[in-house]
Each structure stands twice: as C-alpha cells, then as structure tokens.
Amino acid sequence: MAKPRHSRRTLLAWPLLLAAGPALAAPARTRIVTVLGDSITAGYGLAAKSALPYQLQLALTKLGVAAQVRAAGVSGDTTAGGLARVDFSVRKDTDLAVVALGANDLLQGQDPKRTRANLDGIVRKLKSRRIGVVLTGISAPVEVGGGYARDFNAVFPAVARAHGVPLYPNLLDGVARQPGLNQPDGIHPNARGAAIIAARLAPTVAKALAARG
C-alpha cells in the first residue's frame, strides 16, 4: 500500500494550524468584582486570605467563574460613608459591585429612610457608570424594636426593586449569632464564618455576572 504523499506546502502549514488551535478556545475574561462595605468586607481581625473578599474569589472559582475580587471595605463605615466614597473606592474597570453596607447604620440606630436614601444614591452612581450591582441586606434583630426592625429590614428589598438589581437578603445568613463562626466580639465573622458567607453569596454574584454577558 502506497504511503500518502504530502507536499512541502502542507507540511509547512501544520505548525500554523497547531498554533492557531488554542486561539479557538480562548479562556474567559477575568471579571472584576469590588465589594463595597464595612469592617466585614475589610476583614476585621482576619488575615487577607481568610477575609470575605478573597474567600468570595475562591468560591467563585469553584463555580467556574474567573473573577478577581477587590476589597473596598472601611471599618465603621455607614451607608453615608459608602455614598461619599463610592466613586473612588469602586474603580472604573469593575464589572460588578457588591454593596454590603448598612450594619453600622443599624448599630447606630439611624433612620431607615436615611439608609434607604444613601443606598439609592450608591446604586444610582454605580449604574450611571455601567457597573453592575448586587445589593446585600442586613437583618435587624427584633430586640432593637419591632417597628424599627421592620422598617430597617424593608429598606434593602425596596432599593433592589426600585433599581432592578439582585438582592442577597442577609449577608450574615447562617453565621450571625453562631459563636463558633464569629470572633469573640460576637459581631465579626471568624475565618470559618467568612468562608460560609462567601460560599452562600457566590451563586448570586455568579448569576449577576452571567447576566451581564
């Protein structure tokens, strides 16, 4: 049986075809996610790799999402502080901002109407810059007063509906009031708690990124 004959042109073409192959399946672009928040986002009491932003990046990777998560948390920050700094804390190359503010408003007993106005301003500024938004809520315990807790808890879904952005109802879901998942102050998550928050939040963030294409 005769061996197939290849012209010199065909043989020279093979390296070019092989080189072109990987380009046909280019890796997905790494998305930039910025977490605008307070001490929980800043990783109070934790090493950077144990804090929420890095843990969220790991959780997104497990879901097959190539993302770089940036921490933009300031300890003690309220929604008013977030509104004042959102334009420079969330860089222009951000694809999606996770707005995780409100816990300090709650601790200070601020008027829920004020909190809502600040969150409205933050989301409006981000959307005007074509940056996607995921809003996270904080649940007020009934101990602070039934009426106040009801009004405060209603702020986050109201803002999400008004602006058509995804809502993750309670950032501390599954971690709040769990001694084994919090630092001695009973407020800030420990490394295990931060990992749980990240794992629960990640699907909402991944879905929001997918929706942006």
Spatial CA neighbour of 137 closest among 152, 126, 150: 152
Query: Is the pLDDT assigned to residue 192 strictly greater than 50?
Result: yes
CA pseudo-torsion sign 28, 51, 117, 137: positive
48 in any annotated domain = yes
Q: Nearest 5°: CA angle at 100, between 61 and 72?
A: 70
Query: Would you put residue 7 in left (φ > 0), alpha (ψ -120 to 50) or beta?
Result: beta
CATH code assigned at 191 = 3.40.50.1110
**pLDDT on residue 141:** 86
Spatial CA neighbour of 131 closest among 106, 101, 95, 161: 95
CA 12 to chain centre: 49
**Measured between alpha carbons, how far is residue 40 from residues 22, 56, 77, 189 in Å?**
41, 12, 10, 7
Query: Would you put residue 173 in left (φ > 0), alpha (ψ -120 to 50) or beta?
Result: beta
Residues spanned by the domain of 156: 28-211
Report residue 114 as tokens: 């004020």
Give the pTM. 0.86
pLDDT tens, residue by residue, 17-42: 334 444 444 567 899 999 999 999 99
Count of structural domains within the chain: 1
20 in any annotated domain = no
Amino acid letter, 137:
G
pLDDT tens, residue by residue, 118-165: 999 999 999 999 999 999 999 998 788 889 999 999 999 999 999 999
Query: Is the pLDDT assigned to residue 13 strictly greater than 90?
Result: no
